[in-house]
Amino acid sequence: MTLFRPAQAILVGLGLIVWAVIAFARPANADEAHMRMYHATADQDDWMRSLTRPDTKTSCCNLSDCSPTDADWRDGQWWAVIRGSWTPIPPGKVVKSPLSIDGEAWVCAGQTVVFCFIPPLNSY
């Protein structure tokens, strides 16, 4: 029975090491994590990075603020679902080029501000 306990301890130790490697493993860089988390393909990632805010000419995209959304044209203004609520999109936030990469509407937004809105393709 004395030999069995060290073998158990070794197995438990190896299991903890494997768990720690899996639990704390990080991608080589943030760009890889961003692409896997938010954009399925390299083309989508390149497209996302090409977006600029119409009002400031700076990037629309941060690592986690752009996503596909439902959108509707109401009374001369775009509305989009942001964090579960229909929200009016200020006209100065609508990106007209490049067009949506997949035909769907996209929104880049913080907690309380819309950075960019990309209309669905069938809107123009």
Q: What is the reported pTM?
A: 0.64
Averaged pLDDT, 116-120:
94
In DSSP notation, 66-85 reads: EEEE-EEEETTEEEEEETTE
Q: Name the token pair of 69.
A: 């959304």
Calpha distance 98→29 (Å, rounded): 27
Domain ranges of the chain: 1-28, 39-123
Amino acid occupying residue 28: A
Residue-wise pLDDT for 10-55, tens only, equals 666 555 564 544 545 444 444 444 444 455 577 777 787 888 888 8
